[in-house]
Amino acid sequence: MTTRQGFRVELAPTLEQRARLGRHAGLSRVVENFCLEKVKAALAQREAEKTYGVLDKELTPVPWSAPALERLWRREHGERFPWFDAEGMSSRVPKEACRVRAAAFKNFFDSRSGKRKGRKVGFPGWRKRKHGSRFRYDADRARPESARVMRLPGVGKVRTLEDMTWLTDRISDGRARVIGATVREQAGRWWASFQLEIDRADINTRRAVSSDAPACGVDVGVKTFATVVDDDGTVSEIHAPKPLKAALRKLRKAGRAVARKKPGSSNRVKAIRHLGKVHLEVGNRRADFLHKTTTELARSKRAIAVETLNVAGMVANRRLARAISDLGFGEFFRQLEYKTAWYGSAVWAADRWFPSSRLCGGCGTINRELTLADREWTCGCGLVHDRDVNAARNLLEAMNLERQAA
């Protein structure tokens, strides 16, 4: 059985290859804006035609789909963008840029109609350089050549800073297949991310959770990232590094340095790159913590009970927004979901309105007067509760009761 998985590796391009990578990122940006231009032009033409009394079925069609956008690009790029053929750039990048733009249009309409979950998505806007450098290849056009070299169409063979033996071995014996690749630049460094269809049976079996592993309840919070209560009564706490909070002083200093530099100067470019490096370090520290934590839980607990948080609503609280964003609750739950599926454990999510913190684990009374500032509270039955431990224990109990009822 195959599953979808990503594999990211950092590149070590030469100066010439860096320039080629930058040109392809610019090409992707140009094509995305070309697609948006054509759609907006068609919409404006339709509005004008309606004023002339043209019937709906005779109005100018709007090129919403990727094939329609690709046809327009192929028809016009020779005259409008002659540098594309002159510089020998990869034809796969415009193809994927059209697909990305078509997907953005679909997400907009699905969001308006209610088919797409989550917050409303706005109409796609113009892509600018400040939005970042990235481009995509379809299928396995970009693929590893050896453990330390990958081939990127239009760029050539690029060395990597990391070993890819894990991936190349699986591609060679048919256990993995590249179905797409994204190349991205951050803080002057380039990465290639492969989207794979992979058979993980050997890995998942070797790392499967033990049948006698404990079940647990996990309560997440700002002060203590996660309080874990096992079914044998063991209580443990997981503390997050809070990388953004730790780097705020450095970020402010780097931001001021950018503001002091003359726009367009080489010193400003250097200051911007330094600021990007600080942001990259923050993101890497958070990602490292979340991956290690979720992997440890998925491989050591046979069942994990968690709460369902409205993270978007929590971030709307201006006093807590930065702290909550720094912790990455949404990514924590997302990783738990797919990693428990990998290693044979299970994750159970309580209803969003389940009163895990307010519910007394002894008598079942709900303390409606409990506030966020109350870290301990005493129930009328006499039990004294630690807020986080009580919540984790209640989540574990709720999961066990539901499973017994089923």
| DSSP codes joined into one string, 37-73 | HHHHHHHHHHHHHHHTT--GGGSPPP--SHHHHHHHH
Report which secondary-structure segment, H or E, holds 18.
Answer: helix 15-51
The answer on 219 and 173 residing in a single domain is: no
Q: How confident is the prediction for the chain on average, in pLDDT?
A: 94
pLDDT tens-digit readout, 154-184 = 999 999 999 999 999 999 999 999 999 999 9
The answer on 363 and 219 residing in a single domain is: yes
Domain contains 13: yes
Q: How confident is the model at residue 377 (pLDDT cuts 50, 70, 90)?
A: confident
**Structure tokens, 160:** 């990597």
Domain contains 110: yes
What is the distance between the alpha carbons of residues 137 and 182, in angstroms, rounded to a whole number?
A: 6
Give the pLDDT of residue 311. Answer: 87
* 3-state helix vs strand vs coil in the chain, percent to 5: 50, 20, 30
DSSP 315-326: HTSTTTHHHHHH
The answer on 52 and 185 residing in a single domain is: yes
* Cβ(389)–Cβ(229) below 8 Å: yes
In this structure, is the dihedral angle defined by the CA atoms of residues 117, 121, 124 and 127, taken in order, positive or negative? negative
Find how far residue 254's CA is from the centre of its chain.
26
pLDDT tens-digit readout, 263-283 = 999 999 999 999 999 999 999
DSSP 365-382: -B-TT--TT-SEEE-TTS
Domain contains 264: no
pLDDT higher than threshold 80 for residue 112: yes
The answer on 6 and 115 residing in a single domain is: yes
Give the pLDDT of residue 291. Answer: 97
Domain contains 277: no
The answer on 73 and 47 residing in a single domain is: yes
Give me the active site residues, please: 219, 307, 388
Average pLDDT of 209-229? 94
Domain contains 282: no
pLDDT tens-digit readout, 138-154 = 999 999 999 999 999 99
Give the pLDDT of residue 406. Answer: 67
**Structure tokens, 250:** 């450095």
Average pLDDT of 223-242? 95
Considering 199, 232, 261, which residue would you say is the last residue of a domain? 199
The answer on 138 and 94 residing in a single domain is: yes
The answer on 176 and 36 residing in a single domain is: yes
Give the pLDDT of residue 148. Answer: 97
Q: What is the DSSP letter of 138?
A: E
pLDDT tens-digit readout, 51-106 = 998 888 899 999 999 999 999 999 999 999 999 999 999 999 999 999 999 999 99
pLDDT tens-digit readout, 315-334 = 888 888 999 999 999 999 99
The answer on 150 and 22 residing in a single domain is: yes
What is the distance between the alpha carbons of residues 78 and 247, in angstroms, rounded to a whole number?
A: 48
Boundaries of domain holding 356: 215-243+290-405
Helix (H, G, I), strand (E, B) or coil at 163: coil
What is the distance between the alpha carbons of residues 276 and 187, in angstroms, rounded to a whole number?
A: 5
107's CB contacts (< 8 A; 6+ apart) are: 116, 121
Give the pLDDT of residue 178. Answer: 96
The answer on 230 and 195 residing in a single domain is: no
Average pLDDT of 3-9? 95
The answer on 372 and 235 residing in a single domain is: yes
Considering 164, 199, 234, which residue would you say is the last residue of a domain? 199
Q: Which residue is associated with the tokens 């894990």?
A: 166
Q: How confident is the model at residue 374 (pLDDT cuts 50, 70, 90)?
A: confident
Average pLDDT of 230-238? 94
Domain count, the chain: 2
Domain contains 69: yes
pLDDT higher than threshold 70 for residue 381: yes
Q: Which of 40-44, 334-338, 367-371, 389-393 has the lowest mean pLDDT?
A: 367-371
Considering 199, 223, 254, which residue would you say is the last residue of a domain? 199
Average pLDDT of 299-311? 93
Domain contains 263: no
The answer on 224 and 112 residing in a single domain is: no
The answer on 118 and 233 residing in a single domain is: no
Give the CA dihedral 339, 344, 345, 350, nearest 10 degrees: 70
Domain contains 248: no
Average pLDDT of 329-343? 95
